[in-house]
Amino acid sequence: MRDKFVVALAVAAGVLLAFNLYRIFLVLPDEALQGAIYRIIFFHVPAAITGMIGYFAALLLSLAYLSFGNFRYDSLAASVVEVSVVFSVVNIVTGSIWARVIWGIWWTWDYRLTSALVCVLIFSGYLMLRRAIDEPTQRARLSAALCVFGCIDVVIVWKSIEWFRTQHPGPVLSIRTGGGRIDPAMEQMLYLNFAAILMIAIALVLIRTRQEATAREIDSLRRIANAA
């Protein structure tokens, strides 16, 4: 049942992506100032938002694990963090390529880039910590604690580096600015692609969670085998 859902989700995401790509390349015009390179934004921004949503979800799941002790929360949190790190890396790399053309530099210590990098570092540490611990309960507990600390730190990092440095383009989505800073067709495309990327992310998380459950099953079967 769940497998069918994952497959259906992946197929739907694929179809939406194909439709979006058609529109991105063949229907939408070039941006006045940036030329063709602006189209990266349709992957750059949704990947960033997906990553952020993932980290926030991981925070809630980690708190849930610490409160209730159910391993499913831990598996879900680990899967969500892993997929979020992947999409955050996509965000940073695509942003870097865009910056090379528009700003002439691969990287700058602007607040959004720096905060994004710090996010990736913190949650890569989370993934490394998980691999370093074999015992499941200890692993779940420690990674949940790190996730909680990490997510709260991300908020502080975000705000503090924002005061520190600003070069990245400001907000353009009309939900934040009230309209007028981006072409409506482009904005709609952004939301559509965000939906596609979110669906892919959810499918990947579900697959990964299933793998965590399998790993737990192997672990418990091994204990039974050893005890016998």
Q: Does 33 bind another protein (CB under 8 A)?
A: no
Q: Does 86 bind another protein (CB under 8 A)?
A: yes
CA-to-CA distance for 119 and 52, rounded, in angstroms?
Answer: 9
CA nearest neighbour of 46 among 99, 106, 88, 93: 88
Query: What is the greatest pairwise CA distance in the chain?
Result: 72
Instruction: Tell which one of 60, 89, 195, 198 touches another protein (CB under 8 A).
Output: 89
Instruction: Check: CB of residue 193 under 8 Å from CB of residue 49.
Output: no
- From residue 151, how far is each of 18, 24, 73 by CA, in Å? 34, 34, 16
For another protein, what does the binding mask look like between residues 156 and 195, x meaning CB under 8 A? xx-xxx-xx-------------------------------
Q: Does 122 bind another protein (CB under 8 A)?
A: yes
What tokens does 97 get?
């390529």
Q: How many CB atoms lie within 10 A of CB 129?
A: 15
Can you count the helices (H) and strands (E) in the chain?
A: 7, 0
Please state the closest distance from residue 175 (CB atom) to another protein, in A.
24
Under the rule (CB under 8 A), what is the footprint of another protein? 35-37, 39-40, 43-44, 47, 66, 83, 86-87, 89-90, 93-94, 97-98, 100-101, 118, 121-122, 125, 128-129, 132-133, 138, 141-142, 144-146, 148-150, 152-153, 156-157, 159-161, 163-164, 200, 204, 207-208, 210-211, 214-215, 217-218, 221-222, 224-225, 228
